[in-house]
Amino acid sequence: MNILHIDSAITGDASVSRKLTADIVAKLTDANPGATVTHRDLNDGVPAIDSDWFAAVRLAPEHPTPEQQALIATSDAYLAEVQAADVLVIGLPVYNFNLPAQLKNWLDQIARAGKSFRYTAEGPEGLLTGKRAIVAYSAAGTPFGSDFDHASGYLRFMLGFLGIADVDFVAADRLAMDRDAGLARAQDALDKLAA
C-alpha cells in the first residue's frame, strides 16, 4: 500500500487536521506494516496556476523554455505522487467556510486534461481510479456538511471528478463551540474507519 499524506493547515502543532491525518496514517500503517508513506506539506507552498502555467502545462509547447520546464516538472511531481498512491490522506482545515488556498492550488496542479481526467462523448471521465481518499476535516465554527460548509462538498466533487469516488471523512467540527465534543466525534469516526 502506498499512502500519500497531505497536510495543508497553517497552524503548525496546534492544527487539529494535522493530528487527525497523522492518526489516520498511523492506523493505516499499523494495519498494513509494509505500507510506504509520502508526506507532502502544502503549507510549504504550492504555486497557483496562472497564464505562464497555462502556456507551459496546458498548451504543452514542443520546445518548452527552461522556465516552462520548471513549471511542468512541478505539476508533474504533484500528479505523480497521486498516481502512485493507493490511499490519499488529506488534511482539510476549513478557513472562511472553504478549503485553504494551498489545497485549492494543489487540486489545480493535478487536474490535468488527458492525465487525471479526460473528456468523452458521455462527458468528463476521471483517470485516477482505484484509489481511496480519507479526509481529515477540521473547523472551528463550520458544521461538517452544513449549508455553509463549502469545503467538504467541493473536495469530494473534485476527487470524484478525477476518478477517486471512495472518499471517507473524519470530521472534527464546531471546535470553537465545544472542542471536546468535536474531537470526540472525530475520534469516533476514526475508530470506525476501515484500515
Contact 102, 46 (CB under 8 A): yes
Kindly tell me the sign of the dihedral angle through the C-alpha atoms of 180, 185, 188, 194: negative
Q: Among candidates 109, 107, 103, 110, which has minimal Cα distance to 8?
A: 103
The reply, when asked if residue 16 is annotated as ligand binding, is yes
The reply, when asked if residue 17 is annotated as ligand binding, is yes
For residue 8, what are the CA distances in angstroms to 54, 86, 91, 170, 192?
24, 20, 6, 15, 24
Residues 31 and 179: their CA atoms lie apart, in Å, by 29
Q: Which three cell numbers stand for residue 48?
A: 497557483
CA 106 to chain centre: 8
The reply, when asked if residue 51 is annotated as ligand binding, is no
Binding residues for FMN: 15-17
Binding residues: 15-17
